[in-house]
Structure 1
């Protein structure tokens, strides 16, 4: 969705104060009663305690994202926007429970439907809350482009990694056991080249995620990952 269309979808205002304890409480209950009949009976509570506060948060994040990158989209639509579906796709996984027991909010790059592009993320679960930035499971073409850019600008990449780690981010995702095809196993940055994901994770307490100040917290943390996101955008050829 374009930024202009997303802005139209968020014209209800930025009336966000906090997600609130009711959000965590509902997700905890959902984990204990992960059944369609229970969810249907409690859908009004889901709307009031989870989805509507989440939509208000998305609207409040629009100016924050604009300061980070004008190409990140805050879209408060109930379906197809920044708020990820509560319904789980059970077709291929072993977990056949029908609902996710976390609130996931993603702020995608406006080109994200056409190419694998970096974005920002908030995860709220009863026992785990965190922020995410970067690229999770980039396709082979994008991953190779990132690796090639790292080898082309090693000093810049090392400076970025040092800055994000000093700011309190940890590196998420998986790595290959061996050097990727076409790259020297003895390269000084081989640990970076082996990465399959380029995601940053910043843990939050439940109080930080559901209490007052979440928008400001996101603003401050995401700002420290700005150059990491810029590097990834340049690597995969999307605007930053």
Structure 2
């Protein structure tokens, strides 16, 4: 799907940090950009087979690509150009308020997945409420064999709180997730397979459980938590004893099932 010359350009871009190098290689950039646009169109079509909203919400592939050139106003002390490109596919047409499917293109570090990284308290709180209210559904998505096979590293977060947010039970089985400031899962392609001579194939794994996780996040943003009990407390009382010590570890089996934590090959 991607021409190796596109990766070659990005690799050379990381080696030559002088301002004039980019302009001297403008033709290579134009060719790489065109190749990325073509790859984006293919991804929109492929991901649309699993999530039909994606083609409708992303009519212009150019708006799905991140920029290579940094804004000089915010790049003091940093190279003028980035060596990676993200293809972001948003299913509702609003990148600020929705999770994304993505493909990161970088020499030696290509990966695909889905993410919703947000630091605003209100939408993040709604997601946390949803995790608490639908804990069994959350558990089922993350522990599904298909999800763990597609995303062996489990969930990632750009940052996490030291403590569980105020108002949630600190001993809730999902306490580690309640501290997260965002959620993402990706599948790395260290040695991208060839899809034809000299070509590179790969697409976000929207059929490996990422779509289910994406949908739960989206519903979590729109719906408040169930009422009638304190947030983060199931059964009306905080857990005690051995149960209180069983904490959910991101990317691992839920310890609350079967009364004991099991082994995991997720990491």
**Into which bin does the TM-score normalised by the smaller protein fall?**
0.7 to 0.9
> 2:121 aligned to 124, 133, 140, which one?
140
Pair 118,102 (structure 1): closer, same or farther in 2 beyond 3 Å: same
Measure the CA separation in 1 of the matches of 2:118 and 2:5: 32
Query: Is 1:106–1:119's contact at 8 Å kept on the other side of the alignment?
Result: yes
Measure the CA separation in 2 of the matches of 1:88 and 1:185: 41
Q: How does 1:19-34 map to 2 (within 5 A)?
A: 19-34=2-17
In the TM superposition, residue 204 of structure 1 has moved relative to its aligned partner by: 0.9
Q: Indicate the larger mover: 131-140 or 203-212.
A: 203-212
> 1:188 aligned to 167, 173, 179, which one?
173
In the TM superposition, residue 187 of structure 1 has moved relative to its aligned partner by: 0.9
Measure the CA separation in 1 of the matches of 2:100 and 2:152: 15
Aligned residues: 214
> 2:182 aligned to 175, 197, 206, which one?
197
Measure the CA separation in 1 of the matches of 2:29 and 2:111: 21
Q: How does 1:2-17 map to 2 (within 5 A)?
A: none
Query: Is 1:119–1:134's contact at 8 Å kept on the other side of the alignment?
Result: yes
Pair 93,178 (structure 1): closer, same or farther in 2 beyond 3 Å: farther
Query: Is 1:27–1:102's contact at 8 Å kept on the other side of the alignment?
Result: yes
> 1:158 aligned to 109, 118, 139, which one?
139
Gaps of 5+ in 2: 224-267
Q: Deviations over 1:134-175 (max 9, x none)?
A: 202342211101000011010100111112224334222222
Pair 133,56 (structure 1): closer, same or farther in 2 beyond 3 Å: same
Pair 184,24 (structure 1): closer, same or farther in 2 beyond 3 Å: same
Q: Quote the RMSD (CA, aligned, Å).
A: 2.3
SS of the residue 1:184 aligns to: coil
> 2:111 aligned to 125, 130, 140, which one?
130
The residue number in structure 2 matching 1:120 is 101
The residue number in structure 1 matching 2:226 is none
Measure the CA separation in 2 of the matches of 1:83 and 1:208: 22
SS of the residue 1:60 aligns to: helix
SS of the residue 2:192 aligns to: helix
Measure the CA separation in 2 of the matches of 1:209 and 1:148: 43
Gaps of 5+ in 1: 1-17
The residue number in structure 2 matching 1:10 is none
SS of the residue 2:148 aligns to: helix
What TM-score comes out, normalization by structure 1 length?
Answer: 0.80
Q: Deviations over 1:15-70 (max 9, x none)?
A: xxx2121111111110011233110110111111x211111111112222222323
In the TM superposition, residue 232 of structure 1 has moved relative to its aligned partner by: 0.8
Pair 36,206 (structure 1): closer, same or farther in 2 beyond 3 Å: farther
In the TM superposition, residue 130 of structure 1 has moved relative to its aligned partner by: 0.8
What TM-score comes out, normalization by structure 2 length?
Answer: 0.73
If you compute each CA radius of gyration, which structure gives the higher value, 1 or 2? 2
Measure the CA separation in 2 of the matches of 1:222 and 1:109: 12
SS of the residue 1:180 aligns to: coil
Q: Deviations over 1:177-209 (max 9, x none)?
A: 111121111111101111111111211124249
